Structure 1
Amino acid sequence: MTVLHAGWGGISNPKFDAVLARFRPIFADIASGAVTREVAHELPFEQIAWLKAEKFGALRVPEDEGGYGLDLPELFSLLTELSEADSNITQALRGHFAFAEDVLNKPAGKYRTRWIERLVRGELAGNAWTEIGNAQIEGFSTRISERDGKLWLNGEKYYTTGSLFADWLDVGAADQQARGVCVSVRRESPGLNIVDDWDGIGQTLTASGTSTFTDVEVFPEDIVFDEERFQYATGLYQTVHLATLAGIGRALAGDVARAVAARRRTYDHASASRSSADPQVLQIVGKVRSAAYAASAITIASARALQRAFDARFANEEERVQINAETEIETAQAQVIITDLILDASTRAFDSLGASATKKPAALDRHWRNARTLSSHNPRIYKERIVGDYAVNGTLPPPQWRIGVPAATS
């Protein structure tokens, strides 16, 4: 059954259908153990290894360079389906797909060739950008220094999502001149320590914990200046969240539909003798599924905006600035609506079932917890304001965002 035939709409063409057919059995295996992993807090090392073996991280690499050659709407359609199987895994791979997108934006040369070869081998990159506590919003305390003719990285990062599963870490840092840089570091590097100490209420299996760098050697060829990174990064990072939320909505819709179909108990004041025939219950299930459908469709619309930005990556600066701004507006608008849709659905779904649905082994609460955690990133209240300011005053959205303590208040 294709996504189209399942009633989810979406994308269908021979190339994409072939890629989907390759990964769908893996997604099914991932989904089969998702609840068990959630309840037992088992990190999905094995499941991510299955994806690595099939070069999942090379989905965007052109076919003539050894990848699958998916465009961005196709990528996010696939990520939505992976998120339906286990949203933790999509979140864990978020940093990788942003890093891979940056590689694809690079002009031909040694750097791009080296990384394309790594992606095609199945290697994955994790994320190590955010600093907590009194970290400054203007720059990083994680720094590169020079000693004995070598470069060394020192600092600490939190929210290093997916790094325990990765081969490389994509690290935000400051160089010797305090310029913002991105540096790639092998996960096995001496002096690098990663701890799974993420204690959030949701997305608990993403290994979004602490990474500490103590005299980790880095190499000049693995350093890129901030301004050289691809310019629609914020939109792409956000759209991974959107695909993850849409997948959570689909998983929720499936779980609730199956639970209602199997339910035998009912109430003496119900509208039917079985929940599966109760029009009020069916209405709730329909609303939950429709929210997931809308979230999936909006995610693909956001991905199409990103594709326009990718296609314009070598255009003149004025054109790129405008297209990237419009892309950011579209992803912000999508975030505002999808967040409401899935948070509401993940609460409303319980109205279709009895109190037994709240028992921990069922793990239905994971859908709300995961959606709530994802929706707390990049706060939507700011995105609503940014969209409104654009609509009323024509103000372009900020091209990049960071979190930390402003210098004036530190």
Structure 2
Amino acid sequence: MPTTHHAAPISSDEQALIVARDLADEFKRDSALRDRERLLPLAELDTFSRSGLWGISVPKEFGGAGVSNVTLAKVVALIAQADGSLGQIPQNHYYALEVLRVNGTPAQQLRLYGEVLAGQRFGNALAELGTKTAHDRTTRLARDGAGYRINGRKFYATGALYAQRIPTSVVDEHGIQHLAFVPRESQGLSVIDDWSGFGQRTTGSGSVVFDNVYVSADDVLPFQSAFERPTPVGPLAQILHAAIDTGIAHAAYQDALHFIRTKTRPWIDATSDKASEDPLTLKSLGQLSVRLSATDALLERAGELLDSAQADSTAASVAAASIAVAEARAISTETSLLAGTTLFELAGSQATLAEHGLDRHWRNARVHTLHDPVRWKYHAVGNYYLNDQNPPLRGTI
């Protein structure tokens, strides 16, 4: 089981950003090596946990920093820029904390938030393979005395490999979904490191198997009800995905600048001595830079509207936040893929050599942006503005 480390206290948005920037500098150093060799970031995650950043979304009344969603997204983007996998690992941790905020009892909030502030990590066991749609669930929750038993198998369980608790979506005998915060050391629970995606290689997004796993009733929260009324749970999950893609885009962009300045040769028709003076290179980089700035701006705007929706969750405020997040998700998807491709187009053949590891940016973006299809985000945005139709209340739009 992963070791719990005492976490440093973080008390403000400003402090969270300072800590994230310092960590990003450290995590960037061996990110290409970890990707190439698929070296699990165990030491880095321990450092990440001790930093206190895993607790920054805990509300102030429970001892956390209660940072804005603008800050939370920036923190995730900074870590993802340093290492795309490290940026994704806490995504479902923050998501689970939002479900806890929205649906947990005061006693559950006090206890589970306290664990996080002490340095514990939450993973996830939500998605399943082989169901009719990506959102169908078959993992069962059955009564057993004062508690429950869980049976089923999950995949895409990002972070479970590194977690002390694994929030798990389960369906009871009435077909109602709940979220069980299952301790990692539970008997009958197996975490299998079988993630083989060609990008985001060290996220630990493999399988979790539940063989008659016991869970206390105190560790089970309502889940389905978070999507039967207006809550910010869905857009909160989505803004974190947008932040991950934004960070990956920045990483590719910065590596493109560095490679072109230091290694790329000018094209013969450019009539310039340096690749950095090639007019067509400048045009392409300028276009990418503008899109990256737009991505940053839409991510920040989405965070602001999500803050408003958390403060006052109505059908209108949650819809506005969801659409703003969908816009950020759409542009961050396209910009991260564009940045990974433009890097090679402008840097040239040398940039493809394995020792540089620059292909990881496109691979990371391509794998992560498949989380849910961007084409449906444009549909939701168009339907909202043209037909005044609010998006569906769920985790993905």
Q: Does structure 2 conserve the Cα–Cα contact (< 8 Å) formed by 1:127 and 1:170?
A: yes
| Alignment match, 1:368 | 362
| Alignment match, 1:248 | 248
| Alignment match, 1:84 | 81
SS in 2 for 1:125: coil
State the alpha-carbon separation in 2 of the partners of residues 78 and 220 from structure 1: 33
Deviations 1:78-122 (A, max 9, x none): 111111111111211110011112233357721111112112112
Aligned amino acid, residue 333 of structure 1: E
Deviations 1:287-343 (A, max 9, x none): 333332221221111111211111014xxxxxx122112221221222222222222
State the alpha-carbon separation in 1 of the partners of residues 80 and 185 from structure 2: 28
| Alignment match, 2:260 | 260
| Alignment match, 1:293 | 293
State the alpha-carbon separation in 2 of the partners of residues 202 and 27 from structure 1: 19
- Report 1:32-43 matches (<5 A): 32-43=29-40
| Alignment match, 1:388 | 382
Q: Does structure 2 conserve the Cα–Cα contact (< 8 Å) formed by 1:80 and 1:296?
A: no
| Alignment match, 1:194 | 191
Number of positions where the alignment pairs a residue of Structure 1 with one of Structure 2: 384
State the alpha-carbon separation in 2 of the partners of residues 303 and 103 from structure 1: 19
Matched, 1:354 2:351: no
- Report 1:4-403 matches (<5 A): 15-63=12-60, 65-106=62-103, 109-134=106-131, 139-147=136-144, 150-229=147-226, 231-263=231-263, 265-313=265-313, 320-400=314-394
| Alignment match, 1:3 | none
Q: Does structure 1 conserve the Cα–Cα contact (< 8 Å) formed by 2:176 and 2:224?
A: no
1:135, distance to aligned residue in structure 2 (A): 5.0
Q: Does structure 1 conserve the Cα–Cα contact (< 8 Å) formed by 2:372 and 2:396?
A: no
Q: Does structure 1 conserve the Cα–Cα contact (< 8 Å) formed by 2:147 and 2:217?
A: no
State the alpha-carbon separation in 2 of the partners of residues 209 and 291 from structure 1: 33
Q: Does structure 1 conserve the Cα–Cα contact (< 8 Å) formed by 2:20 and 2:78?
A: no
Which consecutive unaligned segments of at least 5 residues does structure 1 have? 1-13, 314-319, 404-410
SS in 2 for 1:99: helix
Deviations 1:265-292 (A, max 9, x none): 4443333112133333233333333332
Aligned amino acid, residue 374 of structure 1: H
CA gap of 1:149–1:119, structure 2 versus 1, over 3 A, is closer
| Alignment match, 1:7 | none
State the alpha-carbon separation in 2 of the partners of residues 260 and 219 from structure 1: 57
Deviations 1:124-169 (A, max 9, x none): 1111111111356775211122346652111000110111111111
| Alignment match, 1:5 | none
Deviations 1:245-268 (A, max 9, x none): 111111111111111111264443
Aligned amino acid, residue 189 of structure 1: S
TM-score normalised by the chain length of structure 2? 0.90
State the alpha-carbon separation in 2 of the partners of residues 105 and 344 from structure 1: 36
| Alignment match, 1:406 | none
Q: Does structure 1 conserve the Cα–Cα contact (< 8 Å) formed by 2:142 and 2:173?
A: yes
Compute the RMSD of aligned alpha carbons. Answer: 2.2
| Alignment match, 1:317 | none
Q: Does structure 2 conserve the Cα–Cα contact (< 8 Å) formed by 1:284 and 1:351?
A: no
- Which segments of structure 1 move beyond 4 Å, counting only runs of 4 or more? 135-139, 147-150
State the alpha-carbon separation in 1 of the partners of residues 34 and 257 from structure 2: 22
Deviations 1:7-32 (A, max 9, x none): xxxxxxx9433332233222211011
Which consecutive unaligned segments of at least 5 residues does structure 2 have? 1-10
Q: Does structure 1 conserve the Cα–Cα contact (< 8 Å) formed by 2:34 and 2:40?
A: yes
Q: Does structure 1 conserve the Cα–Cα contact (< 8 Å) formed by 2:298 and 2:327?
A: no
Aligned amino acid, residue 279 of structure 1: P
1:402, distance to aligned residue in structure 2 (A): 7.7
CA gap of 1:237–1:31, structure 2 versus 1, over 3 A, is same
| Alignment match, 2:6 | none
CA gap of 1:62–1:235, structure 2 versus 1, over 3 A, is closer
Deviations 1:141-198 (A, max 9, x none): 1112234665211100011011111111111111233321111101121111111222
| Alignment match, 1:9 | none
